[in-house]
Chains A and B, each alone.
Chain A
Amino acid sequence: METKEKKPLEKVCLICAKGSLEDVYASLVMANGAVMEGIETKVFFTFFGLDGITKKSMNHLHTATTGNPAMRMPGGLPFPTMLGGLPGVESAVSGMMRKQMDELGMPPVDEFLEMITAGGGEIYACKLAIDMFKLKKEDLSEEVSDIITIGEFYEMCDGDRTQIIFT
């Protein structure tokens, strides 16, 4: 009988390039999940994903109410695109989403980042995107260990049991 040797993941490297609520949380949940499993974890935030580690914006992320076919009204009815474009709607819907997530025990972004680094996970910001958005290290969460290039990030992603995940 053939026996398959298990080869558990040793390192997970995540790249978060989008700044919507669901994209940032997808990265954070996967990163925290990996840390909790004892997997070495590194997260690289770039482009609009930087909103997820920028002090000013990280706890106020939005979900798109236009161009999001999966968006529903409370109760499950379709969400009219025209409604999503009205001033304040995206803000209100996003606030409701964050509240619902809070009720499920999901931490706000700043706390989530702390949870990841508490377990040894590492958070990085993309140098190119930082320059592009004219941000400084002080603008970022204290949990960000460094501003690095994608080349430097790839160097950290060595090892044959490493996976890079792009969200």
Chain B
Amino acid sequence: MSLKTIAGVELNVSEEGYLEDMTQWNEEVAKEIASEIGIELTPKHFEVINYLREKTAAKEALTIRNVGKSGIVTIKELYVLFPKGPLKFSSKIAGIPKPTSCI
């Protein structure tokens, strides 16, 4: 665990840069993490991010399959929004732990 200044605030992050405490997250934090990855956030991105945060808060397992069935985006669209890391990058931007799912 280490400290990292994101959007002007010092936050606890894992070695790979995932927030340790999802309550420290806000939209500015999301934007800064996203720009580090090279993603510019649109309202659609936030819909996905909020869905992931809700599911994580409810302690539900996250898979791209579930996101694809959420009615927010298809799996294909999810890959377009978060290229090369549909679950990894979206989770990082959403301020939730690194996904442990294989699907």
Contact = CB atoms under 8 A, between A and B. Distances in A.
Interface of A: 29, 32-33, 36-38, 105-107, 111, 114-115, 118-120
B102 interface: yes
B63 interface: yes
Contact of B85 (A38, A105, A106): A38
A115 B68 contact: yes
Contacts of B65: 105, 107, 111, 115
B39 interface: no
A104 to B, nearest CB: 9
B103 A106 contact: yes
Given A107-B65, A119-B79, A36 B85 contact: yes
A32 B87 CA distance: 12
A115 B102 CA distance: 12
Categorize the interface residue count of chain B. Answer: 10 to 19
Contacts of A36: 64, 85-88
B6 to A, nearest CB: 22
Given A29-B103, A33-B102, A105-B103, A119 B86 contact: yes
Contact of B64 (A29, A106, A115, A120): A115
A118 B75 contact: yes
Nearest to B85: A38
B88 to A, nearest CB: 7
A107 B68 CA distance: 12
A106 B88 CA distance: 19
Given A32-B102, A37-B85, A114-B75, 6 more contacts: A29-B102, A105-B63, A105-B66, A105-B103, A115-B103, A119-B75
B61 interface: yes
A80 to B, nearest CB: 32
Contacts of B64: 36, 115
Interface in B38-96: 61, 63-66, 68, 74-76, 79, 83-88
Contacts of B84: 37-38
